[in-house]
Amino acid sequence: MAFQRSSFSRFLVLTIVGASFSIFVTACNSKPGASSKTDAGHSLSGEELYIENCAVCHGEDGKLGASGAKDLTESTLSDNEVLQRINEGKNGMPPMKSALETKENVSAVAEYIKGMRK
Ligand code: HEC
């Protein structure tokens, strides 16, 4: 995605980072007894996990391509490669294993992004 949209992308990234942060803060505040991130993250759907952890680079529709991210709707990776990419990252993609916290969350996000393919 080398179009002339880098400043627009940067704007989007900042907006999305800000929005995700407020969602995270709200989620924590709404559960006074919740002490760990796991409590807050545990019941989230694949879509919610994606919006929180991935949309900043990949965009809500998978096509944003910020920081050199690949268009997820065009991805041809196998199931195992998708899991590996999420867990370990590659180039500009950071490993997301610890952010997602559990294997169940990784699988839920993997299923969600595979649903974006054409
Ligand atoms: C900091 C930005 C960033 C974040 C956050 C991010 N990614 Fe990525 N992602 C990338 C980049 C950059 C690539 C391209 C890596 C490469 O060079 O192959 C990529 C590639 C991928 C690919 C491989 C696509 C293909 O066909 O090669 C998948 C799958 C993927 N990301 C899923 C996710 C998921 C799921 C999340 C959230 C849990 C996520 N990414 C979060 C930047 C990001």
Q: Return the best residue to mutate from 50, 70, 74 for the ligand 1 pocket (most ligand atoms within 8 A of CB).
A: 70
Q: Is the dihedral of CA 62, 65, 71, 77 positive or negative?
A: negative
- In this predicted structure, what is the pLDDT of residue 41? 45
Q: Which residues line ligand 1 (CB under 6 A)?
A: 53-54, 56-58, 67-70, 72, 75, 77, 82, 85-86, 90-94, 96, 100, 109, 113
Q: Per-residue pLDDT for 75 more than 80?
A: yes
pLDDT surpasses 50 at 35: no
CATH fold of 6-114, please? Cytochrome Bc1 Complex; Chain D, domain 2 (1.10.760)
Q: Which of the four pLDDT bands, split at 50, 70 and 90, describes residue 23? A: low
Q: Which residues touch 20 (CB under 8 Å, ≥6 apart)?
A: 51, 52, 55, 56
Domain ranges of the chain: 6-114
